[in-house]
Amino acid sequence: MAAPGIVALGIVTAALEVLAIAIIVTLLFALMGQPVGEGVIADILAAVRSIAGESWTGLAATVLVLVAAKAGIAQLYTLLIIRKKNKLNARIMTAAHARLVDMPYADLRARGQGELLNTAASDAWQLANAHYLLTRMAINLCMIAIFSIFIFALSWEIALMALCGGAAISLAGQLIGRAARDHGIRVRRDIEALYTRLLAAIHGARLVRAFAQEEAEKRRVTRAVEQLRKHTLQAEATRALASPLNEIGYLALLIGLIGFGASVGVPQAAAFTAIALLYRMAPQLRELEGNRLTFASLYAPLHALAELLTQPPQRSRLAAAKSAVGRIGTIRFDSVTFQPPGAAEPVLANVSFEIPQGGVTALLGPSGAGKTSIVNLLLRLYEPDGGAIWVGAERLDRIDRGAWLADVAAAGQDLDVIEGTIADNLRLGAPEATDNDLRAAARDARALSFIERLPDGFNTWVGSFGYNISGGQRQRLALARALLRKPQLLILDESTSAIESAIEAEIFSSVLNTRDGRTVLLITHRLNRAARVDHVVRLERGEVVTEGAWTPGLHVFPPLEERGA
Ligand SMILES: Nc1ncnc2c1ncn2[C@@H]1O[C@H](COP(=O)(O)OP(=O)(O)OP(=O)(O)O)[C@@H](O)[C@H]1O
Ligand SMILES: [Mg+2]
């Protein structure tokens, strides 16, 4: 049910309660043998008597029915609000994850992992809480409005004074609200710091142990938790202030109103009913204040979540992207300049070179030269800042990203395994692949024999840190995944650096030398003699220093002596 429906139910319960109170006061007056006088109370009583009859028991039964109906409806809308909250939770969690996956890679990298996890996991829950609080506040307000209307009808003098008193109490509440918001910001920051340490404990499990930093990590977490505890305590203490403040404030107001009602000569029955209504209204006001404070303390998580959810997804720079690639022609970098966000200077400066169609291009160069940056541009993780990448006669940024990547596969740096089974990992390359396809790709990547020796074979769970398989085995899995895609462009970025030369030679024989016209970009510091290279590009400090067909004397780094040239 939509929020307006829930609020309507809230209004009905308030009206039922007002009616019940009016009847109870009338009953009291009848018991004391006093007249109720003229006005709203007398009108209500006349209406009720016409339905319930004249007898005392008839009126009492009416009150009971009204209160039961009110309690039933209140229960119903409470259930509806909770259901709505859970539904919303599910939607927000999905949306937050979708934003993480669709976020431009550069933006994702610019954020801390603790911050991302905090926003996508914890803050996402808070939005549903905020929605819940808003609905409750809307109901509180409606109930207060209904009560106020009746009080106003009974005695405008009492209503006016109650309004002034209520406004003063609310003003004090606002000051506490501001403090609650500031505390909320601090608490959120502390949770983020704690998440960062938890992630370090998981991702850095090996490193922390290898350097015997367990105790230091524990101390850091103790400090983070202590900070969180301190700020949470302050936040809760501030929020707790609101309750006694409201309690005392509203009681003082009530006492004041009794005296005031008597002094301005409001009829007794009306004054009684108005005071009874005010008394019943006080919990609503208190709840409203409480909800408002909790809502204020959610400011920081909601702000962070809103910021995540409104992130624009990754898009091709040019809107009119073509969806079909067809045959991938020669790839040409034309004066490409690339400066990743956060880098002090361009990592690629005016880079021009070719990756000929159907050939094996070796991209060589010292560490930090910009080789993986070239891969990142080809994988469309980033877009160049200047120049263009051409694929045949088409600019890469005019080709639909999905269509392009369907024909490209990469293995190597930062592209090894994710949490899941070996089969899950391989099927990232081709979700529809059959078991036979998996086996064939694993065989070509020289991974089949070690997979078959694992007790669970292709169903073996491999952690993202690859605890369960060795470094060289991880590289072979990554290679099998890339081969499974049967790409037109295969990118191997140091993808066999942890594999012994004999196996590497076998892999190159099966992958490079029988490749059905596929284009291969081979990035390596150590050119295996089995690699049949057609074209060589050498990069240094973001600039191309050598390019040409491979010849035995070509100056590349390191020298190609391994080829026996
Ligand atoms: N996202 C980034 N933000 C800032 N600097 C970056 C980013 N990506 C790469 N760089 C910098 O660009 C330079 C080239 O990095 P790149 O990873 O392309 O080198 P590489 O040639 O692949 O080196 P290696 O052989 O060690 O893998 C490095 O100095 C690196 O610090
Ligand atoms: Mg690299």
What stretches of 32-112 show up as alpha helix (H) in DSSP?
A: 40-52, 56-102, 105-109
Q: Tell me phi and psi for residue 538, to 5 degrees.
A: -120, 130
CATH superfamily of 412-486: P-loop containing nucleotide triphosphate hydrolases (3.40.50.300)
Pick the CATH number of 325-407+487-497+506-550 from 3.40.50.300, 3.60.20.10, 3.90.1170.50, 3.40.50.2300: 3.40.50.300
* Cα-based distances in Å from 430 to 171, 402, 458, 461: 61, 13, 15, 19
450's CB contacts (< 8 A; 6+ apart) are 469, 473, 476
Three-class SS of 313-344: CCCCCCCCCECCCCCCCCEEEEEEEECCCCCC
CATH 1.20.1560.10 maps onto the chain at 3-309
CATH topology of domain 3-309: ABC transporter transmembrane region fold (1.20.1560)
The pLDDT assigned to 353 comes to 97
Whether residue 176 has pLDDT greater than 60: yes
Task: Classify 200 as helix, strand or coil.
Answer: helix
Residue 477 token pair: 């899995």
β pairing state of 394-395 and 519-523: unpaired
Contact 371 CB / ligand 1 (< 6 Å):
yes
Q: pLDDT tens digits, residue range 280-322?
A: 888 888 888 888 888 988 998 999 999 888 877 766 554 455 6
User: What would the mean pLDDT of 366-389 be, rounded to a whole number?
Assistant: 95
How many whole angstroms from 305 Cα to the centroid of ligand 1?
31
What's the chain's average pLDDT? 85
Q: Which ligand lies nearest to the CA atom of residue 363 in the structure?
A: 1
| Candidate from 92-101, 179-188, 502-511 with smallest mean pLDDT | 502-511
Q: Give the residue whose CA is nearest to atom 16 of ligand 1.
A: 370
Q: pLDDT tens digits, residue range 534-543?
A: 899 999 999 9
Task: Classify 340 as helix, strand or coil.
Answer: coil
Q: pLDDT tens digits, residue range 138-166?
A: 888 888 888 888 888 888 888 888 888 88
The pLDDT assigned to 324 comes to 60
Whether residue 563 has pLDDT greater than 50: no
21's CB contacts (< 8 A; 6+ apart) are 273, 276, 277, 280
Which residue type occupies 94?
A: T
The pLDDT assigned to 561 comes to 40
How many whole angstroms from 113 Cα to the centroid of ligand 1?
20
CATH 3.40.50.300 maps onto the chain at 325-407+487-497+506-550, 412-486
Contact 367 CB / ligand 1 (< 6 Å):
yes
- Among 432, 416, 395, 410, residue whose Cα is nearest residue 467: 416
Looking from the CA of residue 347, the nearest atom of ligand 1 is 12
Confidence of residue 121 (pLDDT cuts 50, 70, 90): confident
